[in-house]
Structure 1
Amino acid sequence: MAQDGIRLVNVFTHQGQGGNPCPIVIDAAALQDEDMRAIAARYGHESGFVRPPSGTDSDFTFRFWVPRHEMEMCGHATIGALWCLATAGRLDAEQMRIETRSGPVTGYVENRSSENPSVEISQPVGKVVDLPREQEDDVLATLRISRDDLLGLPIQNAVTSRVKTLIPMKSVAHLQALTTDMALTEKCCESIASTGLYPYAVADRAERRFEARQFPKSSGYPEDAATGIAAAALAFGLLKNDLVPRDSGRITILQGRAMNALSEIRVRIGFADGRPVGCLLGGEVMPADDHAA
């Protein structure tokens, strides 16, 4: 445990490495907004804060901050916080109701009494909308690429909790060659009503394995090693574009390769009467080396 009751974990690790570092405070009831923002700024990462529920419909309230502002929802911080609660012996059931500013989330924690519990969280059914040509051109200019670099599918805005812009790259090599400018990314995202650019590529279609990168709108850093909410949105984009079958088989999103922090995010889409009704988002969590930020 690091100082000030902050625990640093890596969420969405791949083969015991990588993942997205995430500071978690499981007793954050006394923290003010500026306290939470300052913790995120000190660590330089999206951070999760566990507070008492506001009513009887939830077990916890989770809040999320990046160095510059509060976020309505953060997938990896939610998973990291549930993992920390479980390993601290603070969960009395395998299913938890969580209040977030983007709406209710259900957490599912298996083996909660072990040193390595398994965590998945719910996300609502995704909405996917093709961008008009003018907005597509803006995205291409921001990433300094042309339509020849794309797979031949539309650029789309997709959302489960936060809008992400899905950009279908022709190959993993094309994806990893991308470079961005934070100011241009923020301007582009503002103009297309997105919270981040999420270019992706097919790694192994038969295995439902894809790679992606996340360039956030205004988080205070240029790229994320793992972005659960973006991966959930991507899963519904893959479904709409017929890149995955219409069943609940696991979709694997690898992210963070360009940052030397390869991460693995797992998504399972749920169906009822042949229609998607939501998804479960999960991945591995590991404690990071304790250190003072």
Structure 2
Amino acid sequence: MTSQHSSTRRLAEQVFTVNVFGSGPGGGNPAPIVVDARLLDGEAMRQVAARHGHESAFVLPGRDSCDYQFRFFVPNHEMEMCGHATLGAVWLLDHLGALPKSTVSISTLSGRVHARVSGGHASVSQPRGRSTGIDDPAAVLGVLGIRPSDLLDLPLLNAATSRVKTLVPLRSIDVLNGLQPDFARIEALCDAIGSTGLYPFAPIDPDAGVFSARQFPRSSGYPEDAATGIAAAALAWAAWDLDLTSKSRIVIRQGEAMGRPSQITVEREDERCWLSGRAELIEETPL
């Protein structure tokens, strides 16, 4: 067997776990990644995600004139898009010497995205955000266990660049970090309002473009997410549209309340934005 065939077989038989967006000890969001998933069907992919307990990415040959197709699973189901897993997969392909060029196109269930790598640093595109108001904000406040006085004087929004997240503007970091949601009611609430998760946030230094956030997913198999790229992108567009900051580069801190400090950078470029952050390989296990 040639070394090239041996290397290809190794990539198809391994799960590489990349920690993405970490900004301190224990921080970041791990993403199990299979860089050659041609032999796996959807249920096998879901089982990988369930075994590892994290959002997972599966790399497939390109389609629709894209360089790659990516599929994403959490322990409970397939997702249309996962920002940190996309970034982690692209960074990993480059790290393994398997990325064919510095900028690639990727087909996902939420549409085409682009990714680029420069100096070992990866970033992933998202389209311009869109948002609509929440018809029943009281229901959201009830599930989060907060009062109207805990909010900034801003609307609650369903916002998205791919998957819809519910943005809840809080007046302080103390309120954000003190949230104790009724997790048993989150799935039904998200179904009722057309969301895939609650994303409460608070300003740290809006003049510098720095915010803090937490993510409570609708139904992923775990109660809280340490770093959520597509939610951060949705928040960044809302911050620009609501004139919360004049900075084109926004930093969103997440995971601090759960002891997993993470940092996501979102940079605007015309009518799209780029997600970026730290990535590192932390584990390699047999498939």
- Same fold flag (TM > 0.5): yes
CA contact (8 A) 1:17 1:263 kept: no
Name the SS of the counterpart of 2:21 in structure 1.
strand
Q: Give 1:1-293 correspondences, 5 Å limit.
A: 4-15=13-24, 17-55=26-64, 57-111=65-119, 117-132=120-135, 135-245=136-246, 248=248, 250-271=249-270, 277-290=271-284
Give the letter for the 2:60 counterpart: R
What does the per-residue CA deviation read over 1:235-278, in whole Å, with 9 as the maximum and x for residues that have no partner?
A: 01111221111x53x1000000111100000001223xxxxx11
Q: Give the distance between the partners of 1:269 and 1:131, measured in 2 at CA.
A: 25
Q: Give the distance between the partners of 2:141 and 2:40, measured in 1 at CA.
A: 41
Give 2:4's aligned residue: none
* Runs of 4+, deviation exceeding 2 Å: 1-4, 289-293
What does the per-residue CA deviation read over 1:45-77, in whole Å, with 9 as the maximum and x for residues that have no partner?
A: 00000001124x111100000000000000000
Name the SS of the counterpart of 1:13 in structure 2.
coil
Q: Give the distance between the partners of 1:186 and 1:158, measured in 2 at CA.
A: 17
Name the SS of the counterpart of 1:179 in structure 2.
coil
CA contact (8 A) 2:16 2:283 kept: no
- TM-score, structure 1 as length reference: 0.91
Q: Gaps spanning 5+ residues in structure 1: where? A: 112-116, 272-276
The Cα shift of 1:39 comes to: 0.4
- TM-score, structure 2 as length reference: 0.93
The Cα shift of 1:3 comes to: 10
Give the letter for the 2:55 counterpart: E
Give the letter for the 1:130 counterpart: G
Q: Gaps spanning 5+ residues in structure 2: where? A: 1-9
CA contact (8 A) 1:2 1:290 kept: no
Q: Give the distance between the partners of 1:3 and 1:50, measured in 2 at CA.
A: 10
Give 1:274's aligned residue: none
Q: Give the distance between the partners of 1:16 and 1:78, measured in 2 at CA.
A: 23
The Cα shift of 1:290 comes to: 4.8
What does the per-residue CA deviation read over 1:91-143, in whole Å, with 9 as the maximum and x for residues that have no partner?
A: 121110100010000001112xxxxx1111110100021222xx101100111
Name the SS of the counterpart of 1:106 in structure 2.
strand
Residue 200 and residue 177 in structure 1: after superposition, are their counterparts in 2 closer, same or farther (change >3 A)? same
The Cα shift of 1:291 comes to: 6.1
Name the SS of the counterpart of 1:174 in structure 2.
helix
Q: Give the distance between the partners of 1:4 and 1:123, measured in 2 at CA.
A: 30
> How high is the sequence identity, in percent, across the aligned residues?
48
Q: Give the distance between the partners of 1:31 and 1:3, measured in 2 at CA.
A: 10
- Number of residues paired by the alignment? 278
The Cα shift of 1:289 comes to: 4.4
Q: Give the distance between the partners of 1:15 and 1:179, measured in 2 at CA.
A: 24
Q: Give the distance between the partners of 1:140 and 1:291, measured in 2 at CA.
A: 42
